[in-house]
Amino acid sequence: MSKNGKKHAYGDANPLEIVLGTATNRWVEDPREALRVDEHFHLASMDRAATPGWAGSESDAVAYTAAVTPLLGALQEKLFAAAKEGSDRRVLVVAQGLDTAGKGGIARHVMGLVDPQGVRMTAFKAPTPEEKEHDFLWRIWKAVPGPGTIGLFDRSHYEDMLVPGAAGTLDDEGFDRYASQIHDFERQLIDQGTTVVKIALMVSYEEQGLRLLERVDRPDKRWKYSGNDMNVRGQWFNYQSIYERVLRATSFEEAPWYVIPADNKWYSRLAVTEMLLRSLAETEVHWPPARFDVDTERDRVRATLSPQALARYDARIQAKLAKVDARITVIEDAATILVFSAEPAPTPAPASEAAPGDAPAQSVGTGSGGASSGGAVSPAAQQVADDAGKHPGKGGKGSKSVGKPSKGGKAAKPGKTGKGTRKAVKKAAAKAARKAEKARRSHS
């Protein structure tokens, strides 16, 4: 049902089912919980080939990513649009990791899923002579994403702790000074409306060696290789030690570190995609209202059109508006269910059990380089894909926010949801899942 109580184009189906189509959500735990650094974190005991929180295969991950890409794009568009009305919300992904860990893959395969107009990516190399004349955060501040934007740091301000730390030239006083300055810096970002997502991609020693060897052997990858890569590899254990120390010292509640096993590239990309998706879904922004009188401007535009053109327009606009309303509702309800529901997503019926007259599933690309994902989605989900997230800044109609006011009339903090809201969403999600399952069985 749409917000006005009328039955919309997608009927009464579970919104998450519509988005996922025949793909299945195999996340059994929020990756932000599964990968968060806490007091028990120990890097040396970490299985770099593990897939924490994900109970599916690589093919499941490909299908799932393809299915949620329109959802990711729509949430990004809303973030972008809200900035036009004064919202200061933005997202910054800080990616750290040794050579070959997959930082570039995050840029291509995760940030490539959303509109590049709303993304700012910065790769931090060794400081230039000009940068060395300033405080180490000077060049970082210049790259901070603006309101409505998703930023990606490929390496970051943490290099100023990690590199000298691995080389043995950073004493305890210097370590504490850097950690304190970084903490204050990230606090300022958060106070300015930034959701900070810090990821450390961790490959095993063996896997890193294999990836370096492939760079040497492949003519199309040799440009990535440098003789210094082996010098850094020679400091492997020093880097493991300083990484653990830095991660523990600079992880705090509002900006924790997430340490991602990176031997399986597909998993690290999946995990970062899910973190970004959930972070956007929790960001409390709204579609901005029109900054003009709608009736007046409608009359002005209509006065410039021929009767024939207006007749054609009037014949189709109501159906299109209903579809837009349905798309907004489905996408936002699906995001709410996905992020806050503890219930696993309902498993779709096998093709042999599909209802009579159902259209065949269609394939949706991953959005990165035009490659086909092999993931199948329902016709309704395909419509969502066609309509959603095409160009940030196009705007849209009003919508519900994920964060609801808590008891006493106080608004929930951005990125937080009260227990009452979580409980209500879980209940609604479970009810929707049961309803969808009942409908499926009635056709089997």
Q: CB–CB of 391/117 below 8 Å?
A: yes
Rounded to an integer, what distance in angstroms lies between the CA atom of residue 366 and that of residue 269? 12
pLDDT computed for residue 344 by the predictor: 46
Q: In what order do the strands lie in the sheet with 194-202?
A: 119-123, 150-154, 90-97, 194-202, 257-261
Neighbouring-strand partners of residue 207: none
Residues 412 and 396: their CA atoms lie apart, in Å, by 24
| Predicted pLDDT of residue 177 | 98
**Distance (Å) of CA 276 to CA 87, 254, 271, 345:** 19, 15, 9, 19
Give the orientation angle of helix 307-340 with respect to helix 379-387, to 10 degrees.
110
Strand pairing category for 362-365 and 372-377:
antiparallel
The pLDDT tens digits along the chain (444 residues) read 444 444 545 566 778 788 888 899 999 999 999 999 999 999 999 999 999 999 999 999 999 999 999 999 999 999 999 999 999 999 999 999 999 999 999 999 999 999 999 999 999 999 999 999 999 999 999 999 999 999 999 999 999 999 999 999 999 999 999 999 999 999 999 999 999 999 999 999 999 999 999 999 999 999 999 999 999 999 999 999 999 999 999 999 999 999 999 999 999 999 999 999 999 999 989 999 999 999 999 999 999 999 999 999 999 999 999 988 888 888 888 888 877 764 444 444 443 333 333 333 332 233 333 333 333 333 444 444 454 444 444 333 333 333 333 333 333 333 333 334 444 444 444 445 444 444 444 444
Cα–Cα distances in angstroms (integers) from residue 5 to residues 12, 15, 161, 183, 428, in the given order = 12, 16, 56, 47, 17
Domain boundaries, position 317: 1-444
Tell me if 24 sits within 8 A of 64, measured CB to CB: yes
Place of tokens 């016709």: 379
Q: Is the dihedral of CA 280, 285, 288, 289 positive or negative?
A: positive
> DSSP labels for 375-425?
EEE-HHHHHHHHHSSSSTT--------SSPP-GGGPPPPTT---HHHHHHH
How is residue 80 written in tokens? 């972008």
| DSSP E strand boundaries for 144-210 | 150-154, 194-202
Helix (H) or strand (E) holding 122: strand 119-123
Question: pTM of this prediction?
Answer: 0.75
Please, what is the angle between helix 265-282 and helix 58-83, to 10°?
30
Q: What's residue 82's pLDDT?
A: 96
Phi-psi region of 287 (alpha: psi -120 to 50; beta: other; left: phi over 0): beta
CA distance 444 to 349: 9
Total domains in the chain come to: 1
* CATH number of residue 284's parent domain: 3.40.50.300
* Closest C-alpha among 250, 156, 268, 117 to residue 207: 268
Contact indicator for 227, 122 with CB cutoff of 8 Å: no
Please check whether residue 19 is in contact with residue 330, taking contact to mean a CB–CB distance below 8 angstroms. Answer: yes
pLDDT of amino acid 180: 98
324 — phi, psi (to 5°)? -65, -45
* Angle 283-285-287 from CA coordinates, rounded to 5°: 145
What is the rounded CA–CA span in Å between residue 199 and residue 190? 16
User: Given this model, what pLDDT does residue 332 score?
Assistant: 80
